[in-house]
Amino acid sequence: MSSYLIRNAQILGGAPQDILVDGGVIQQIGPGPTVEADIDIDATGLILLPGLVDLHTHLREPGKEDAETVLTGTQAAAKGGFTAVHAMANTTPVADNATVVEQVWQLGRDSGYCDVHPVGAVTVGLEGKELAELAAMHGSAAGVRVFSDDGKCVDDAVLMRAALEFAKSVDGVVAQHAQEPRLTEGAQMNEGTVSAELGLGGWPAVAEEAIIARDVLLAGHLGARLHVCHLSTVGSVRIVRWAKSQGWDVTAEVTPHHLLLTDEMVRSGDPVFKVNPPLRTETDVLALREALADGTIDAVATDHAPHPDADKDCAWAVAAMGMVGLETALSVVQQTMVDTGLMNWEGVADRMSHRPARIGRLTGQGRPIAVGEPANLVLFDPAHRSVVDAATFATRSRNTPFRGLELPGRVHATFLRGMPTVLAGELVDQGDLS
């Protein structure tokens, strides 16, 4: 394994330092370690952050390899600065048993581009009728601690209670996709003035908020840990803020697209903007940014949801929901949170690495940048600007809502336990490294 001397990097945006990485570990930090390294990296002007951790990634394998594979998804993750992702359970077959979660975990290990932590489904087949094999998934090699029916809501309160109780017994967490199913039947976009004008079925904010309200009460009652996926409304923020004020173990995430885009985009009719939960209003976007800055929202999670062209280049009504996001996440966070003055790079490290790692109970990820720590790192160039071009993506899918948009920042390098997965903005073939 080669050693790396990263020169003049600004750790969390601070003063330039030199960082020596050897044997997978940060060996020295300071103005100018005098030792020689195999490879020197000039990081002048670059920010050094802990490797990013995504709590919400759809890798699609097994079953939808035309959209993504574990290999292409983890390559996209590495290009986005991620060193660990949680792979959502809505694969085919569903990751509701030990066999499937072990398969995904093993594919992640084989890829070598980032750690893959499979999420286990809460209910068999995501059908919301009976609990999945939670204990077997937890006890498997994948060691599942995050359980979610994401894509679907666990709307049966008795099942949700049982899942929370099980999660509590293993120091795990239930990640809820909060969507009251009856209130969102036939819904195509956010319910509001735009949906009324376009004549599209509306998706009311209350459908999200009602489930979150119920679930924080359940979590508080049980003393269990609840994580709320992709918060999208100002009302959801208020409920999470209140739950935290009660001392309950409730965490929440927001996606980059909900930090930047509004339901006005739907006027284009382009299904690239169709997503679940839907893009909301300017008021919601501003509340989400504020809540991320003040820590009410714990994490940015991508909800990277790749879909093949055929499922997106079609009529709005029949298009699949979801957007790819791994390769643009950090740039969108820079644009919406850092360049707006709402958050500094320490905050970015906290919301995109430290806190998501803690929520997933990962060890060795989301660690501080300090001597003796595993070298999971991302070097980011905040001065770079470029127009998003899906053709350059590593993900197998092209459904980015940011295409054609100029965004700040670029991942220069990503290190996974001291091994570069990305150097000078390009993927490093993991087969070529020794």
Q: Active-site residue numbers?
A: 303
* Minimum gap (Å) between residue 186 Cβ and ligand DOR: 16
Q: Which of 10, 57, 90, 232 binds ligand DOR (CB under 6 A)?
A: 90
Residues sharing a CB contact under 8 Å with residue 338, sequence separation 6 or more, in sequence order: 344, 345, 348, 382
Does residue 151 belong to the site contacting ligand DOR (CB under 6 A)? yes
* Minimum gap (Å) between residue 380 Cβ and Zn ion: 27
Does residue 266 belong to the site contacting ligand DOR (CB under 6 A)? no
Q: How many residues of this chain interact with ligand DOR, rule: CB under 6 A?
A: 11
3-state SS assignment for residue 48: strand
Does residue 150 belong to the site contacting ligand DOR (CB under 6 A)? yes
Does residue 46 belong to the site contacting ligand DOR (CB under 6 A)? no
- DSSP letter string, 198-218: HTPPEE-HHHHHHHHHHHHHH
Peptide bond into 401 cis (omega under 30): no
Q: Which of 49, 50, 58, 161 binds ligand DOR (CB under 6 A)?
A: 58
CB 176 within 8 A of CB 153: yes
Neighbouring CB atoms inside 10 A of 31's CB total: 9
Peptide bond into 256 cis (omega under 30): no
Residues sharing a CB contact under 8 Å with residue 168, sequence separation 6 or more, in sequence order: 222, 223, 224, 225
Does residue 327 belong to the site contacting Zn ion (CB under 5 A)? no
CB 332 within 8 A of CB 302: no
Does residue 86 belong to the site contacting Zn ion (CB under 5 A)? no
* Minimum gap (Å) between residue 279 Cβ and ligand DOR: 10
Does residue 257 belong to the site contacting Zn ion (CB under 5 A)? no
Q: Which of 58, 177, 367, 417 binds Zn ion (CB under 5 A)?
A: 177
Beta bridge partner(s), residue 142: none
Q: Which residue is nearest to Zn ion (CB)?
A: 177
Does residue 54 belong to the site contacting ligand DOR (CB under 6 A)? no
Q: Within the chain, what is the greatest distance between any pair of CA atoms?
A: 67
Q: Of the listed pieces 26-34, 44-52, 175-183, 289-297, which binds Zn ion according to CB under 5 A?
A: 175-183
* Minimum gap (Å) between residue 175 Cβ and Zn ion: 9
Q: Which residue ranges make up the site for ligand DOR (CB under 6 A)?
A: 58, 90, 150-151, 177, 275-276, 303, 305, 321-322
